[in-house]
Amino acid sequence: MKNKIRRIPNKKVAKNARIFGGVLLGATLLAILGLGVRLFVIASGSVDGHNLNAATRQAFMAKQTVAATRGKIYDSNGQVLAENTTVYDMYAVLSKKVARVKDSKTGKYVNGSGHVIDKDLTADKLSKVINMSRKEILKRLNKDAYQVEFISTKGQASKNLSIEQYKKIKALDLPGINFIPRQARTYPEGATASHLIGAMRTNEGNDPSESAQVGFMGIEAAKNSVLAGQNGVKKYDGQTENVQESKTVKNGDDVYLTLDESLQNTLETRMDELSKTTKPKFAVAAIMEAKTGRVVAATQRPNFNPNSKPISPKLWTNLLSQGTFEPGSTMKGITLAAAIDQGQWRPNDTYQSGTLLIDGKKVVDAFGQDQGMLTYREGFWRSSNVAFAKTEQKMGATNWLKYLERFRFLQSTESGLNNEDTGIKSFTYPIDQANTAYGQGISTTTLQMMQAYSAIANDGQEVKPYFVDKVVNPATGAVVEQGKTTNVANPIKASTAKQVRRYMIDVVNKDDGTAKEFDLRQSGIQIAAKTGTAQVSENGQYLQGLNNAIHSVMVLAPEKNPKYIFYLAVKQPQIFPDPTIQTTMNKVFQPLMLQALNNSDSAVKSKTTKQTVPDVTGQSIKDATDTLNKAGFRTALVGSSGKVTAQSLRPDQKSLTNQLVILNAKGNTHLPDMAGWSLSEAQAFAHQVGFQLTWSGSGFVTAQSIAKDQLVVKNSQVGITLKEKK
């Protein structure tokens, strides 16, 4: 018997469904109403007797990071090379739901509040301040978005705006245009010594308070922990600070470099000219105190302006300590020193110049193959590869390698810069060993070469190059780290070093010496020098031609008791504006060395000419000027009235006498007589006032386009003429 299924009438089912749906809808509405009431109560700031605004504030204030102020970088004379500033990121609010806000006291609209109202007007005015066209700005303003930034084909036009740009835009009083201020780094001297000073980048954290500026090259990186300081922390119990668990912020220390502003300025100007006229792949130059190892000027080309972002990774290599290259014949001075020290140098013995076969491989002289029999002494001043390949054979590869190690090649100089290269060598076969004796088959850095030659300059005592003069706590003025001379080796005897310098005189004084273009005897100075021309290797093959070589020169000046060591290397120049590349290179060397040797305020002589900089802030202009003049300093004034509000050299520091101190006051600025100023002093003054400075020549100011005492403003253009001191 089949079971019968009881069916519910369709009308009854429909009625039950309607009842259930109504109950469900009612419950949902009640729930939504309850949540709405709850949210309203929460928005009012109080729930169950608790003040939510206070609770939120307590949660936010439970722990706060207090950012440390990064230390400044100065040159040896107290001129600022790197300091902190504020930059601004700009954005535009487009949502019409954001209304303009009036100040309750003044009744005026708050600058920038609300949303963008007149898009055409806004685009027109912004295009005159930021690096973006009116058309591109208007395209951004017409987007359907709550707010926008300004991104063009050239990048983020609204990020990293300067204080000057920020002020210009604020003065326009454009509704909806807002700013986010950020701390940033600025470099008043622009591209000056840019690879040595370095640059910064911002490491973003998960929280804005965790973002930090970090040096990623140069001194900014090498001294990052010193410059950065240590952030503080404030902890709160409710709204009361928990002092015991809080940590006091420690601001960064200031770093003073060994650079001399006047020498650095001359080197930069001359290297600009060399780079412009020869178009090399790279050029690097430095001048160092022979006795101390203080590097007083250094630069390279191409360089960069650290104020411009981003910096191409192609420009990150610091050619002082990285990017090793074959030194060429400047290595012959080291080979000569090793041979003399071992008793294997016979200057009057003769050899057949031109070509030497070693295991079927050729060593060829650069000056040709038909020079006949030469003495080894002549082979040195004429830079014969054959002479020094044969000299290496006389010493023996084992002994020669020992001297390379004693001169501290193939290892870091530990000068204080990060990631120094050590160099490499090819030394397996006799031909490889002979090649290294004249600077091929071995790579070095600029600092390694200068360090090695310091042993020749200092009668056998080798000193380490260094760049940091001192580190100072800006709050107390205490010197927390002092740069010093470090003796790193004694690779040769004093008598050997003296003999090498005498042979290096031949390279300069002989009519067919390879460094005759660098002769300073007309200025009463005898120098010792060695030039180099290293072939450039690509894909295991040496390229041919003078435009495929690294041309270099090493100079010790003066020859007796050298004060300075100068080194310049130019890789693959494409243009030769002078009869010889040495003539072109001498245009860098001669004015720089004469200035260094003739400058009574040079770092070598400065130990007895330093004075403490007085603190004149708060004094009248006359009193401040008199005080500084009596202390041995020169002054220049930005402003014309009231009391001194700031001074360019930090009070209580030691600085060379006769340095220029720029004083700031209120009122208009009148151009001083700049005769005798260095370019860097003129640039610093122009930077303070804000006018545009142009110049020709190098050295010190001899003429100016606007007369003394004439009014200068931000839009002024002032030209100066520079000449070297006799």
- The strand pairing partners of 283, in sequence order, are 301, 570
H/E segment holding residue 36: helix 10-43
Q: Which two tokens stand for residue 699?
A: 């050295």
Q: Beta strand pairing status for 692-697 and 717-723?
A: parallel
Sign of CA dihedral 395, 397, 402, 403: positive
List 76, 321, 329, 655, catalytic entry: 329
State how far the Cα of 462 lies from the Cα of 453, in Å rounded to an integer.
Answer: 8
Cα–Cα–Cα angle for 432, 433, 434, rounded to 5 degrees: 90
Q: How far apart are CA 150 and CA 129, in angstroms?
A: 12
Cα–Cα distance for residue pair 202/204, rounded to 1 Å = 6
Position 268: which residue type? E
Spell out the alpha helix ranges (H) of 437-580: 446-457, 494-509
Which two structure tokens, joined as six digits, stand for 481?
């780290």
Residue 563 structure tokens: 């004060």
Judge contact between 62 and 245, C-beta under 8 A. no
Q: 678, 675, 704, 701: which is closest to 691 by C-alpha?
A: 704
Provide the 10 A C-beta neighbour count for residue 340: 20
Degrees, nearest 5: CA angle 422-428-429: 135
* Bond into 302 cis (ω within 30): yes
Tokens of 625: 């000027």
DSSP state of 193: T
Look up residue 390 and give its two tokens.
Answer: 């044969």
Task: Order the strands of the 282-289 sheet from edge to edge.
Answer: 295-301, 282-289, 564-571, 549-557, 528-535
Give the sign of the dihedral formed by CA 675, CA 680, CA 684, CA 687: positive
CB 548 within 8 A of CB 579: no
CA count, 13 A, side-chain hemisphere, 507: 30
List residues bridging with 300 in a β-sheet: 284
Collapsed DSSP state (helix, strand, coil) of residue 583? helix
Using the CB atoms, write b or e for 533-557: b if 16+ within 10 Å.
Answer: bbbbeeeeeeeeeebbbbbbbbbbb
SS3 of 103, please? coil
SS3 readout for 102-116: ECCCCCCECCCCCCC
Name the strand (E) or helix (H) holding 42. Answer: helix 10-43
Annotation marks residue 329 as catalytic: yes
Omega before residue 280 within 30° of 0, cis: no
Are β-strands 232-237 and 63-66 bridged in parallel, bridged antiparallel, or unpaired?
antiparallel
* Distance separating alpha carbons of residues 179 and 161, to the nearest angstrom: 10
- Give the torsion sign (CA, 483, 213, 683, 218): positive
Supply the DSSP symbol for 5: P
Q: Which of 468, 479, 482, 473 lies closest to 250 in space, CA to CA? A: 473
Q: Report the C-alpha gap between 448 and 400 in whole angstroms.
A: 17
Maximal CA-CA distance, the chain: 136
Task: Tell me if 344 sits within 8 A of 376, measured CB to CB.
Answer: no
Catalytic residues: 329
